[in-house]
Structure 1
Amino acid sequence: MKGTFKKIASQLHLWLGVSSGLVVFIVALTGSLLVFEDELEPVIDKQFHIAAAHEGKQRLPLDVLQSNVTKAFPAKNPVRITIESEADRNVIFGLKNGKKEKDILSVAVDPYTGIIAASRIEQDAFFSVVLRLHRYLCLEETGKTITGISCVMFLIIMITGLVLWWPNRKNTKQRFTIKWNAKFKRLNWDLHAVFGFYVLPFVFIIALTGLVWSYKWVNNIIFMTFDGKPQQKREAPANLSTIKTPISSTLEKIYKATNQTLPNPGKILLTLPQSDSLSITISKADDNAPIANIVNFLYFDKNNGNLVKTRLYAEETKGMQVRRLIYPIHTGSLLGWPTKIVAFLTALIAASLPVTGVVIWLGRKFKGKKVKNQAIKVGNNKSRTKPVIAN
């Protein structure tokens, strides 16, 4: 019975691995890059993110920066404004650049001079491409289905891999250590099995949390478990006023009020509604929080910049608080650099597993053919041997 179970696990591990290996390799490799997206993005595209020398200079009002962007791109409506917490960062304006919501032209403005530093199609940016590869192989809904199925396969592969790895009395030491001076075949097996064992808990959690983006029902399970109902759609509330106040500093007023209400450091995102009746949504991350992705929301009247509503993290439902933990757990940003390093190494090893696994499979396949050919050759030689006739 035990042998049959292990044989089934072996076949599942093999064929699910062969079927999903390429997708797992791409998703894991891109995932390792995305772990340090926040750190690498300003380095890769420095002109876009880093402002010129700003010592001793005062930031210009947001409204002035938006006015400069509007003059440069009069046909494109602003939909969001991103303000990083670091003093040397440009302010990024997101302009609607097509019919789809994700069609965004990003414009970087130096907040101290008001000069437009750079612009780019957001979909063409390096990490945007990496993210699309990671989530759906740049194949939209078809790719999302493929990565979702491959993620489920990978979870089964890890379980069956643990079954195949499980040691007995004779090979316990071999299962926990890598023999670095061994021949290639043995070393490759160790890299696959031993490394796979050590990263299994982390990879399993990362893959499991990844299902939230692949399947809506997985996301709903979180809210049904903790809130007793599916996730509720959140919309910006309506403006309290109906008449636009003739002031030219509404955005700057909102920005200052946000920092007064939420004095903690953190990235600020202003989402500008396309409807004149809805308020402006402000989200601000809390960099002082013990874990990542703690975000508070404020809503301001679009007409006069007055505060309409607050939506603080502490007041969120348990379901939403748990849901907010999924992203930092998945990306490794939960506790900052220590968990990011763990996630980075885990993703790299996960990317290597399909490669070492295929090498093991090919080695066994060719070995089987070699043994079969040798058996045929021996059989042919025997058939050609003349029988000895005794006198």
Structure 2
Amino acid sequence: MTGALGGAVKRSAPPRWRRVLRLWHRWFGLGAAVWLLLLAVTGSAIVFYEELDRALNPDWRSIPVAAAPRTPAADRAVEAAARAVPGFSPRYIDLPDKPGETIVMLGEIDAPDGKGGPAQVFADPRDGQVLGWRRNDVVSFDRRHLMDTLYGLHVDLKLGPAMTWFLGLVGLLWAIDHIAAIILAIPSVKAWRSAFRIQGRGLNLRRVFDLHRAPGLWLAPVTLVVAVTGTVLAWPDDSREAVRLVAPVSERLHEHYPSKGPPPAPIGVDRAVAIATGHTRAAADSVLVVARKGVYGVRTFDDRDLDHLGRLWTYVAMADGRIVGQRHDNGQGAGDGFFAWQYPLHSGQALGLTGRLLVLASGLATILLCVTGVVLWARRRPKPRRS
């Protein structure tokens, strides 16, 4: 454009705060692109962890529906696991929720040679026979380990608590970046509609920019929830301390029980499940074996559950079968309720299949944002002058 005097009309420079936001968004995006890409790829896959792992390992994860027992043989499964995997002791036993599913036990292998570690054992609910097992501390992309590897990479890249903390920091900064991204994406109230459109042709700069901006705006509410909940799940203790500043937060009951170790002759998982389900009159979801406290934490389904997991805990004494406490994950107040929502929202389970599909879409959109953001930066960089 030219003005009345024939000179070029220059665009006014953006305000300083907008330039600051642009710098923040650019350099955060470039610095976090690799980490967000890894989280998005692995997170998109594990949205359907159970279904995919069952499809890859049907001999471990399923039995004929018609042959499914009314009561799974959990004690026999624990005994068979100790024989099949020497040194294995379960800390968590996931019972079949539907006919045709198997018992899944998570625990530790206590090996005298120091080669122990976390393991997962699958057992037939009819007789407890071990169908297969795998180590949880290996990185392998064969069908036996693929989904478990992706899950571990999503949590901490298989590198331990320090990396979990770092990924929580990435999540926090990503949540903050949502504010800058939305402000930059909508330069004015009048132009808000264009920010949601994808224009241009082929892979020209305009189209790449719109592919970076529009999907991010479409799914910004979902990705913001994923970022915040991911931070809370990665920083459970710090998050609790922060929430306690505004609302009381209670812990699971077994954290307050005295440490006394397991009794010489515990009542067993099967009896603990029978006692808890008889008390709650609801089906059992899983059992937490809290040996150091001498209790079984039996989780049963309840009308207050926020996702597909049983969230009502009934604590049964290992020594004599007494019910020593009961608590729902929702807790009693706003602080407890906040934490109860974190996993259901992060996984999408709070809204069932619709929620999981939204989380999957947000993961795919994040992959697109990472790729197009790097492409935009590379194509907009000033080219070096030739001498």
> Which TM-score band applies after superposition, normalised by the shorter structure?
0.7 to 0.9
In structure 2, distance between residues paired with 1:29 and 1:83: 29
Q: Which residue of 2 aligns with 1:157?
A: 177
Q: Secondary structure at the match of 1:132?
A: helix
Q: Secondary structure at the match of 2:383?
A: helix
For each residue in 1:123-150, what CA deviation from the matched residue of structure 2 results, as whole angstroms up to 9, or x when unmatched?
A: 3443332233223323324423432332
Q: Secondary structure at the match of 2:326?
A: strand
Q: Which residue of 1 aligns with 2:124?
A: 110
Q: CA deviation at 1:173?
A: 4.3
Q: CA deviation at 1:359?
A: 0.6
Q: Which residue of 1 aligns with 2:311?
A: 295
1:335 is the counterpart of 2:351: yes
Q: Which residue of 2 aligns with 1:345?
A: 361
Q: Which residue of 2 aligns with 1:364?
A: 380
Q: Which residue of 1 aligns with 2:25?
A: 13
Q: CA deviation at 1:90?
A: 1.5
**Match of residue 84, structure 2, among 52, 72, 90:** 72
Bigger RCO (CA 8 Å, 6+ sep): 1
> CA 1:62–1:202 in 2, change beyond 3 Å: closer, same or farther?
closer
Q: How does 1:1-391 map to 2 (within 5 A)?
A: 3-52=15-64, 54-55=66-67, 59=71, 61-73=73-85, 75-98=87-110, 103-124=117-138, 125-168=145-188, 171-179=191-199, 181=201, 183-215=203-235, 216-227=237-248, 234-235=254-255, 237=257, 250-265=268-283, 267-273=285-291, 275=292, 278-286=294-302, 289=305, 291=307, 295-313=311-329, 316-365=332-381, 368-369=382-383, 372-373=385-386
Moved more, 162-171 or 337-346: 162-171
One-letter amino acid matched to 1:220: E
How many residue pairs end up in the alignment?
364
> CA 1:55–1:288 in 2, change beyond 3 Å: closer, same or farther?
farther
> CA 1:136–1:106 in 2, change beyond 3 Å: closer, same or farther?
closer
Q: CA deviation at 1:325?
A: 0.6
Q: CA deviation at 1:343?
A: 1.1
> CA 1:236–1:73 in 2, change beyond 3 Å: closer, same or farther?
farther
In structure 2, distance between residues paired with 1:320 and 1:31: 25
Structure 1, unmatched stretches of 5+, are 377-391
8 Å Cα contact 2:65-2:99 kept in structure 1: no
For each residue in 1:93-151, what CA deviation from the matched residue of structure 2 results, as whole angstroms up to 9, or x when unmatched?
A: 33421489x93332222122432211111334433322332233233244234323322
Q: Which residue of 1 aligns with 2:7?
A: none
Q: Secondary structure at the match of 1:88?
A: coil
Q: CA deviation at 1:344?
A: 0.9
Q: CA deviation at 1:310?
A: 2.1
In structure 2, distance between residues paired with 1:13 and 1:61: 54
Q: Which residue of 1 aligns with 2:141?
A: none
One-letter amino acid matched to 1:331: S
Q: CA deviation at 1:197?
A: 1.3
Q: CA deviation at 1:53?
A: 5.6
Q: Give the greater-gyration-radius structure (CA).
A: 1
Q: Which residue of 2 aligns with 1:380?
A: none
For each residue in 1:4-52, what CA deviation from the matched residue of structure 2 results, as whole angstroms up to 9, or x when unmatched?
A: 2222211111111111111111112211122222332222222221124
RMSD of the TM alignment (CA)?
Answer: 3.3
TM-score between both structures, scaled by the size of structure 1: 0.80
In structure 1, distance between residues paired with 2:218 and 2:376: 19
Bigger fraction of residues in helix = 1
In structure 1, distance between residues paired with 2:58 and 2:132: 10
One-letter amino acid matched to 1:109: A
Q: Secondary structure at the match of 2:198?
A: coil
> CA 1:214–1:314 in 2, change beyond 3 Å: closer, same or farther?
closer
8 Å Cα contact 2:263-2:294 kept in structure 1: no
